[in-house]
Structure 1
Amino acid sequence: MAKSILITGAGSGIGAEVARQLAAGNDLLLHHHTSRAAAAELQAELAGVSRSVSLFEADLTTDDGCVALVKEVQRIFSRLDVLVNNAGGMVERQAVGDLTWRHLETSFALNTFSTMRLTGLCTDLLRGGENPCVVNMTSIAMRHGAPSATAYGASKAAIDSFTRGAAQELAPTVRVNAVAPGIIDTRFHERVTSEAKMRQFIESTPLKRSGTVTDVGRTVRFLVDSDFVTGETIDCNGGLFMR
């Protein structure tokens, strides 16, 4: 049976690879905000793989954007089987002593509020789904506190807590899990991490490499397929953080 799947932040990077991993035979609604051209290319790429691929542009740092996206889900789908809350990012690096209220608001709106709000808005659609699940995207930054980017780390840590709470509240109907990527080779690090820092991260990683979007996409697919896993955050980081 074809799944109805919503993926946020799917225009590029991890979100686009998640779409590729989940595309086969399914109906996709791919959200994007600043990656319109890339999202259109992905739509064309997946047209022969998925049953249908729709695009929707929205600013999920606003309540209006979240509501508009869910209205589009309701227009296209009668139910929702999979919600992947991937949209997010680091606004900029700011030391603790330099944190501004605006920076904190923006960081949490982008990484935390959008995930929490969308999950809430989609609850009824998910409860009507076939073995429905939510997969949230957090980060290794929640594990080590993200020095020089503490607002980002804290906003991702909040997703870890939300995942456990939502998993308990929405059980037994809806499973809720999260993925915490480590150092993944995407444009994200081109913008916020120096080459020297990237080399340091890789040297500190037991597997001696950065991750790829495929590594993360496969982890998301595992959580979608794993019927007896809920309330978990799966670390995908090459051993850079171990529990």
Structure 2
Amino acid sequence: MKNFYETYFGLQGKRAVVTGAGRGIGRAIAEAFTAVGAEVLVHYHSSEKSAQEVVETIQANGGKAWAAKADLTDSDQTKALFQQVEERWGSLDILVNNAGDLLQRSTIEDFSDELLDRVVKLNIYTAIYSCREAIPLLKKGKKASIVSVGSIAGHNGGLNGATVYAATKGAIHTFTRGLAKELAPQIRVNAIAPGVIMTDFHRRHSTEQGLEAIAGNTPLKRLGQAEDMAAAVVFLCSEGAAFMTGEILEINGGLWFA
């Protein structure tokens, strides 16, 4: 007989695709999934070495994982990725839309057409393309769910040249709520809205002084860690969250209301 934890918070036997899983939050989610019994496809675009390291780490810890490359801003490559999933697994239980990036900070006045196209495609197209290809497989899965990674910026508009990025994350929140209604009751759809998480994203796009200031203004007096996000995603995909869909789960140390 399964214990309470395995029944409500384990993912034993589940098969999951985590996009952008070669580093940061995606990597933490992939490793957390396998720690509670899921098998994971570690998707990457340009981070092949990092993705292979994730797979090796998971396998060394007794988990199951494999890696595959695709540019998810390209619908044909996205289709090909999920064809691999179908050939290998036949169905799918979990999709995590984690791929995305700010790319660079820029005011709207200086925002080029090329940058706009890249940011919108990277943060919105990737999620829509992935969902479109994954849904037929998820319909064949076991108590399937989708979790997308939004952002606190999707609520507050972002800071210091992140307005377009924030707008795309707001779109992800709205997409989540709409898709949840579209796919209910067969597939649950939720999202997380991370606050400032200490990954290479903020090491590239934020200053040390700025991060220290944010930590000081956060009620819990620290920045988030990728593992904080991974634990929440495991919960959303588990039976413990079986009556949750269309939710945007805030994980920001209280920064939202500070």
For 1:100, the equivalent position in structure 2 comes to 112
SS at match of 2:100: coil
* Unpaired segments ≥5 residues, structure 2: 1-11
For 1:7, the equivalent position in structure 2 comes to 18
Q: Does 1:74 align with 2:86?
A: yes
Could you report, residue by residue, the CA deviation over 1:115-146 in whole angstroms, capped at 9, with x for unpaired residues? 01110111111011100000000111111101
For 1:228, the equivalent position in structure 2 comes to 243
- Cα distance in 2 for partners of 1:129, 1:242 equals 38
Give the CA deviation at 1:48: 4.6
SS at match of 2:40: strand
For 1:194, the equivalent position in structure 2 comes to 207
Give me the CA root mean square deviation.
Answer: 1.4
TM-score, normalised to structure 1, is 0.96
2:49 aligns with one of 16, 24, 37: 37
Give the CA deviation at 1:163: 0.1
Question: How is 1:43-192 mapped onto 2 (pairs within 5 angstroms)?
Answer: 43-49=55-61, 52-147=64-159, 148-192=161-205
Deviates more, 1:27-36 or 1:171-180: 27-36
Give the CA deviation at 1:20: 1.1
- Cα distance in 1 for partners of 2:81, 2:16 equals 13
SS at match of 1:210: coil
- Cα distance in 1 for partners of 2:25, 2:188 equals 21
- Cα distance in 1 for partners of 2:140, 2:76 equals 24
Deviates more, 1:222-231 or 1:35-44: 35-44
- Cα distance in 1 for partners of 2:252, 2:77 equals 31
Q: Which runs of 4+ in 1 moved over 4 A?
A: 48-51
Give the CA deviation at 1:65: 2.3
Letter in 2 for 1:59: D
SS at match of 2:67: strand
Letter in 1 for 2:223: S
TM-score, normalised to structure 2, is 0.91
- Cα distance in 2 for partners of 1:50, 1:128 equals 27
> Do the aligned partners of 1:26 and 1:50 also contact (CA within 8 Å) in 2?
no
- Structure 1 pair 156–50 and aligned structure 2 pair: CA distance change class (3 A): farther
* Unpaired segments ≥5 residues, structure 1: none
Kindly tell me the number of residue pairs found equivalent between the two proteins.
Answer: 243
Give the CA deviation at 1:52: 2.8
> Do the aligned partners of 2:188 and 2:244 also contact (CA within 8 Å) in 1?
yes
Could you report, residue by residue, the CA deviation over 1:135-190 in whole angstroms, capped at 9, with x for unpaired residues? 00011111110131111000111000000000000000000000011110111111
% identity of equivalent residues: 38
